[in-house]
Amino acid sequence: MTTFALQTHSLVKTYGFGARQIRAVDNLSLNVPEGSIYGLLGRNSSGKTTTIRMAMGLARPTSGEIKVFGLNPARDPERISVLRRAGYVPEDKMLVALSARKLLALNRSFYPETWSDDLARKIVERLELPLDTPYLKLSMGNKTKSALAAAIAQRSQLLILDEPTTGLDPVALDELLRLLVEDCTSGGRTIFLSSHQLTEIEQIADHIGIVDRGRILLEGPLDDIRASFRRLTVTGASLPTAHPSILNIRRQARATEYIVQRSPDSFIAELTSNGATILASTPLSLNEIFLELCRTGESRDKAAQPEVFA
C-alpha cells in the first residue's frame, strides 16, 4: 500500500474579501508518495508557494485539508511533529544569521538528532558555499545555497523546496541535482519541490503535479505521464474533432496535428480503422506537456466566461 508524505484534499485558500477575493488555491488534491521526488510545476501565481506554506503551517486552509505524514501542520502540537520531520527552503531565501556558517550552526542546534555534519561539509564543498561572507554581501545564488545546505544537512524525512534553483549557476545547479538524488532520497525520504524550471525537474523527479490558477491539471508518475501524451500528425477524411483522448487539435495545410492526453495507442487504432493515415507519432517533453495543458486550460476558461455585450 502506498503511503503519502503529503496529501491535500479539496484544498482551498482565499485571500481578501468580496470583489477583491483571490482564490490562490482552488480545490487542490495532491498525493505525494513517500520516497518520491515530486515536482510541483506551475506558472507564476499558480498556487505552488501557497500550498507549500500551508504544508509548513505558515498559512491556514480556507477549506479542505492538508496532511503531512497524516498530521495537521496548522495546529500545535501536530505542527511540531511535522516540523521535526520536514526541512524547508522558502521562496524568499532570507537568511536569519549573519553568515552561512552561523546559519548552519543555528540550524544544527534545532535538529540535533538528524543533523549530519558530514553531509553539511559535503554540500559546502560541492556547492562552493562561502561560509564567512556577511549575509548582506551574499549574492542571490549564495543565499539559495546557504538555505539549501541548512535544509539538506538536517536530513529530514521530507524536504520541501520552494523554487530551489533561484540564482544558481549551471554548475551549482548540476551539483544540487546530484546531491538531491544521491543524498536526499535514501531511506524512503521524500523531496517535494516546486519550480517552473521544467528541464531540471524532468531530470530528477519521478512524480509530478501540474497546477494552474490554483487547480491541479495533472498528477502522476512522470513515466506514465510521458507515455500517455503523444503528438500525432494525421491525414485523412472525416477526422474526429472531439474525443476523450484529444487535448488539442491544430489544423495544418496538409495534415491535422493532435495532442493526445490519454490512451494514445487505442486512439491511433481508432483513427487507422476509420481510414486515417498516421504521418508521425512523437512523444512530448515535459515542457511541451506543460505548455499544452496550460494553454488548453486557459482557452477553456476563456470559453467558459459569459460574453458581455455592451
Partner 1 sequence: MNSPVSEVFIFAFVVPFIVVIIVVVLLQRKAAAETGRSHGIQPSYAPVDFPPAGFLLRRFSTPERAFLLQLRSALLLIGGTVAYVFVILMCAGLFPRFIAKFGLPGGGQLSIWHSYLFGITLFAGLYTILAVILGFIARGGIGGARAVFLRTRPISRRLIFWGRIAPGVAALLTAFALAVGLSLLMLVVCYGPVFNHLSDPASQLRVASFDHDATVDLAHTLQTSACRLFLSTATTLLLDFSFVVASCSLPMGDARPRSVVAGALILLGILSQTFLTLFREDAPKAARFFFLYSNLGPPPPYVYAAVPIVVSIALLVLASFFDECLEI
The DSSP string of 201-232 is HHHH-SEEEEEETTEEEEEEEHHHHHHH-EEE
Q: Smallest gap, in angstroms, from Cβ of residue 120 to partner 1?
A: 5
Three cell numbers at 198?
521544467
Q: Is 305 in the site for partner 1 (CB under 8 A)?
A: no
CA–CA distance, 87 with 91 (Å, rounded to integer): 13
Q: Determine which helix (DSSP H) or strand (DSSP E) holds 9, and give its type and residue range.
A: strand 4-15
Q: Smallest gap, in angstroms, from Cβ of residue 265 to partner 1?
A: 46
Q: Smallest gap, in angstroms, from Cβ of residue 141 to partner 1?
A: 16
Q: Is 70 in the site for partner 1 (CB under 8 A)?
A: no
Q: Looking at 10, 125, 188, 223, which residue binds partner 1 (CB under 8 A)?
A: 125
- Alpha helices by DSSP H, listed for the chain, are 48-55, 78-85, 100-110, 117-126, 140-153, 170-183, 198-204, 222-228, 264-273, 286-304
Q: Is 294 in the site for partner 1 (CB under 8 A)?
A: no
Q: Is 134 in the site for partner 1 (CB under 8 A)?
A: yes
Cis peptide before 77, with omega less than 30 degrees from 0? yes
Q: Is 310 in the site for partner 1 (CB under 8 A)?
A: no
Q: Which is nearer to partner 1, 132 or 307 (CB)?
A: 132
CA–CA distance, 123 with 136 (Å, rounded to integer): 21
Q: Which is nearer to partner 1, 37 or 68 (CB)?
A: 68
Q: Which is nearer to partner 1, 50 or 228 (CB)?
A: 50
Q: Which is nearer to partner 1, 13 or 215 (CB)?
A: 13
Q: Looking at 43, 67, 101, 262, which residue binds partner 1 (CB under 8 A)?
A: 101
Q: Smallest gap, in angstroms, from Cβ of residue 177 to partner 1?
A: 21
Q: Smallest gap, in angstroms, from Cβ of residue 140 to partner 1?
A: 15
Q: Is 140 in the site for partner 1 (CB under 8 A)?
A: no
Size of the site for partner 1 (CB under 8 A): 42
153: left (phi over 0), alpha (psi -120 to 50) or beta: alpha
* Positions 2 through 31 that interact with partner 1 (CB under 8 A): 15-16
CA–CA distance, 31 with 22 (Å, rounded to integer): 24
How many angstroms separate the most distant Cα atoms in the chain? 70
Measure CA 285 to chain center: 16
Q: Is 105 in the site for partner 1 (CB under 8 A)?
A: yes
Q: Is 128 in the site for partner 1 (CB under 8 A)?
A: yes
Q: Do the strands 86-89 and 158-162 form a parallel or antiparallel pair, or are they unpaired? A: parallel
CA–CA distance, 202 with 222 (Å, rounded to integer): 8
| Sole residue written with cell 474525443 | 243
Q: Smallest gap, in angstroms, from Cβ of residue 13 to partner 1?
A: 10
Q: Which residues bind partner 1 (CB under 8 A)?
A: 15-16, 53, 56-60, 76-77, 79-81, 83-84, 86, 88, 90, 92, 94, 96, 101, 104-106, 108-112, 117, 120-121, 124-125, 128, 130-134, 137
